[in-house]
Chain A
Amino acid sequence: MSRTRTERLVNLVICLLSTRRFLTAAQIAATVPGYEHDPDDAKDHEAFQRKFERDKAELRELGVPLETGTASVFDSEPGYRIAHREYALPDIPLEPDEAAAVGIAARLWQHAGLAAAASSGLAKLRAAGVDVDPQATLGLEPMVTVDPAFAPLTAAARDRREVSFDYRAPDRDDPTRRRVQPWGVVCWRGRWYVVGHDLDRAATRCFRLSRVVGAVRVAGAPGGFEPPPGLDLISHVARWSGPVERTGRATVLVRPGRAAGLRRWAVDSGSGPAGDRLVLPYADAESLAAKLVGYGPDVRVLDPPEVREAVIQRLKEIAARHDELTVTGGAR
């Protein structure tokens, strides 16, 4: 955009903010420098109209609330104005420590689009008179990252529009098309999910945003559904990953100086001639067995039998699987 066009747009904003009446295009052209043209010259008039359309689009793109209406019941031609209360950022009285927090929050985004949105939002707060200390730090700062599906899904959830997307779950061979009414988006322990009503499964489902393949397609009209009242988005995601209670106790024998990863996790330990004895808390015998097998001959389970048997069974199968491979040359 040339300097001229920028200047014309600033003037258009000033003109439409200053009027209470709706101004027609002709009235605007007579007031705003840069729109001078001969309305009787069809070609010139058409050029003006194109220019005016582009300018309106540009302002709307920027978020300027351009109102359309007619000045009186006798007018048929549409007019334009900007209501100051719709245009202006409301007063946000931020204390210095609050302003510092917003300043820090604005630079956490690692996603280019949202980083730009955060800093232009911050620029508006500063323009409203908020001073932001650029040196402030909170000691620990999260890097805020999102998957590409974040923007379209939050927009669809905000507008309550149905969406469809291809979804790849690793235990399925191919992505499947899902149709969802998105209720909201959740960050749970560093991963993003969308929670909503799955139209094909006719049930509530959570989808991990990193598994969405390709574009999110908006299918329905705005306001196309109503999320359930009293919705607690987090609870839907947390349901499958609540805290694990490790009430079981297993005793293992560990070679001296080995299996550091198990030692830091033991609730009790002692050393003997055959090695160090560790007591490990666990919730599920099979997953403990998997972990212990990782240490090979450095670790031997003494108790309980169910963990010991699970470990031996796994070791046999692993040995057999790699034997086969060696015999058939699969590993070579």
Chain B
Amino acid sequence: MTRPATRPAARPTGPRAGGNRASADRLARLLNLVPYLLARPGIEIAEAAGDLGVTERQLREDLELLWVCGLPGYGPGDLIDMAFDGDRVTITYDAGIDRPLRLTPDEALALVVALRMLAETPGVANREAVERALAKIENAAGDLVGAPVEVRLQADSRRVEQLRAAVGRGRALRITYYTPARDETTERVIDPLRMLMVGGRAYVEAWCRRAEEVRLFRADRIDAVVELDEPAVVPPQARPHDLTEGVFRPSPDLPLITLRIGRGERWITEYYPCERVERGDGDQWLVSLRVTDLGWARRFVLGLGPGVAVVAPAELADQVRAQAVAALEAYASPDGAPSGDPAGSASPR
């Protein structure tokens, strides 16, 4: 590669826009590129591009730009220099940029907090390596992190550890799983995709052969696991969930219930995704949320207690009332045997 005979003269008035994100990114990338290549003499350009997450073409443009950088006028040793050998590149003069820039406070914080999160996650395979890495990064970042951020997750680590090991061996699993939406415990065969932790809870994401779709199984609801003698085979159409919006994203075709709640039950507005929260009379609030199952909603409302009244749907209000009445009748009858419709469903009055 021949250096341009004359350095391209910088125009005195460049675009004023300056400082946009992409350009700041490019400057950061260029300052990293020299030490990156310096540490890997003779690296293939394609490999470096893949590693740095840019296209080969972009990387070549970056190299071309760096090629003309350095202090002028003092001769060839003053400009960044590199040797090309086929598709390989070696930095032969770094012009003083031999190290990457130190971490910014945000970068240090982002890495340290994520590592702490990882170190606190039960069932992580190589926790010891995570802790060693954390100590080294904290040490290097020095007082940048001084950042008073602590993490404690505390899940049932034994169960999670057992599941993680089973998932790691890559076989299909038969699990006994409790589904609160239907209040039932079922057996099903799953082909695990991955294990993850969201909001302090561990999940197995897997193809469920019973439901024939990808499902998230909460670790603390898996009551038993048996590893099968067959490999986990995930059908090609299976896609992992997008969890950026949380685990439960209520879809608009689910039944909507509206409750009138008192002060003591307002916690549900933080705990469940509510579609609407309106202030009512006095302490009362009107709260609307989507539920996967009206049977679940009935148990939910009964469990919340007398501070809650169902506003809609009428069907749910009837069920709640009928269940409470039937339960009271059972307590009133002398033999104590639960009476009435054994299915416990509300009968139309």
CB distance from B184 to the nearest CB of A (A): 5
Question: Contact: B65 with A6, CB < 8 Å?
Answer: yes
In the assembled complex, the Cα of A227 lies from the Cα of B146 at a distance in Å of 13
Q: For chain A residues 43-75, which have a beta carbon within 8 Å of chain B? A: 44, 47, 51, 54, 57-58, 61-65
Question: Contact: B344 with A233, CB < 8 Å?
Answer: no
In the assembled complex, the Cα of A92 lies from the Cα of B194 at a distance in Å of 31
A271 within 8 A of B: no
Question: Contact: B125 with A139, CB < 8 Å?
Answer: yes
* Chain B residue with the shortest CB-CB distance to A90: B140
Question: Contact: B198 with A143, CB < 8 Å?
Answer: yes
CB distance from B117 to the nearest CB of A (A): 5
Partner of A187, one of B153, B304, B320: B153
Question: Mind listing 30 A-B residue pairs with CB under 8 Å?
Answer: A14-B70, A14-B71, A58-B27, A61-B19, A65-B102, A88-B102, A102-B111, A105-B118, A117-B109, A121-B110, A127-B39, A128-B39, A139-B195, A140-B164, A142-B118, A158-B147, A171-B266, A173-B279, A189-B154, A190-B200, A233-B150, A259-B183, A261-B183, A296-B302, A299-B327, A300-B327, A317-B305, A321-B309, A331-B309, A331-B317
Question: Contact: B103 with A121, CB < 8 Å?
Answer: yes
A34 within 8 A of B: yes
* Chain A residue with the shortest CB-CB distance to B136: A92
B348 within 8 A of A: no
5 interchain residue pairs of minimum CB distance: A190-B200, A184-B148, A1-B23, A34-B10, A121-B107
* Chain A residue with the shortest CB-CB distance to B112: A105
Q: For chain B residues 180-215, which have a beta carbon within 8 Å of chain A? A: 180, 183-185, 194-202
B35 within 8 A of A: yes
In the assembled complex, the Cα of A122 lies from the Cα of B115 at a distance in Å of 12
Residues from chain B with a CB closer than 8 A to the CB of A325 are 309-310, 317
Residues from chain B with a CB closer than 8 A to the CB of A298 are 338, 344
Which secondary structure dominates chain B's binding surface?
A: mixed
In the assembled complex, the Cα of A115 lies from the Cα of B164 at a distance in Å of 25
In the assembled complex, the Cα of A64 lies from the Cα of B18 at a distance in Å of 17
Q: For chain A residues 262-315, which have a beta carbon within 8 Å of chain B? A: 263-264, 274-275, 290-291, 293-300, 302, 308, 311-312, 314-315
Known: A108-B117, A122-B111, A326-B317. A8 touches B97 (CB 8 A): no
A98 within 8 A of B: yes
Question: Contact: B96 with A318, CB < 8 Å?
Answer: no
Contact with A along B142-178 (1 / 0, CB 8 A): 0000111111111000001000110110000000001
